[in-house]
Amino acid sequence: MKDKKDKEQQEPADPASFEPVGGDRGEGDQQSEDLLVQSLEAVRKERDEYYDLLLRKQAEFDNYRKRTNKEKEEARVSAIADLSKELLVVVDAAEKGLESFAVHGSDQRLVGYREGYELLLRNLRTVLEKFGVKELSAVGEKFDPSLHEAVNTHATSEHEEGKILEEYRKGYTISDRLLRPAQVKVAIPTTESSK
């Protein structure tokens, strides 16, 4: 008898064999089924709300990440631009110093100085190029007020109007934005009254 009780306790009972409390199986089943469906719908609705919230938060985080990366890049370029502007003064001075030496000077003492200026200028340009600073082309180009600063004009019929004839100071860009405009001489048309 003891073995029979142990055997009954070890074997799981079939859930369909249980009778609901109260004896009326149909009405109780319908109520519990309705309750389960309502609970399931509530859980699904809550899941959808959390999923939508997750998607919104992911989008907000992606936008935040992109915005901070853009701000970091702009700060980096701005810092490089500030330093480059200071270095351009040194580049200008080295170019002027180099121009002061005669190209075919007879004094051998000046040859070493000229080579030193050329080396200095080459190294400065290499450093600026490394950080994205590019020289603007000016002579022979069409005048563009967003890139060039006209400091002189020359009335001529030999060149078309707005053509840059001479460059006084080089212009530079960094990351597709203007670092310093080129100072130039621009051709203007001659007038009949000036002849």
Which of 95, 113, 131 marks a domain boundary?
Answer: 131
Q: Domain range spanning residue 122?
A: 38-131
Report the predicted TM-score, pTM, of the whole model to 2 decimal places: 0.60
Higher pLDDT pick, 86 / 159:
86
For 120, the token pair is 């200095």
Residue 16 lies in a domain: no
Residue 192 lies in a domain: yes
Same domain, 95 and 117: yes
Q: What is the mean pLDDT of the chain?
A: 81
Strand partners, 173: 134, 178
Residue 29 lies in a domain: no
Residue 11 lies in a domain: no
Say how far apart CA 84 and CA 134 lie, in whole Å. 11
Number of domains in the chain: 2
pLDDT at residue 71, rounded to an integer: 94
Which of 131, 157, 173 marks a domain boundary?
Answer: 131
For 147, the token pair is 């890139």
80-84, 147-151, 167-171, 190-194: least confidently modelled range: 190-194
Same domain, 171 and 107: no
Which of 135, 118, 125, 136 minimizes the C-alpha distance to 87? 125
Same domain, 116 and 46: yes
1-5, 24-28, 30-34, 64-68: least confidently modelled range: 1-5
Same domain, 160 and 175: yes
Higher pLDDT pick, 180 / 98:
180
pLDDT(137) > 50: yes
pLDDT at residue 193, rounded to an integer: 41
Q: Is the Cα dihedral 57, 58, 61, 63 positive or negative?
A: negative
Same domain, 62 and 117: yes
Which of 131, 163, 180 marks a domain boundary?
Answer: 131
The proportion of the chain whose per-residue pLDDT surpasses 70, expressed as a percent, equals 81
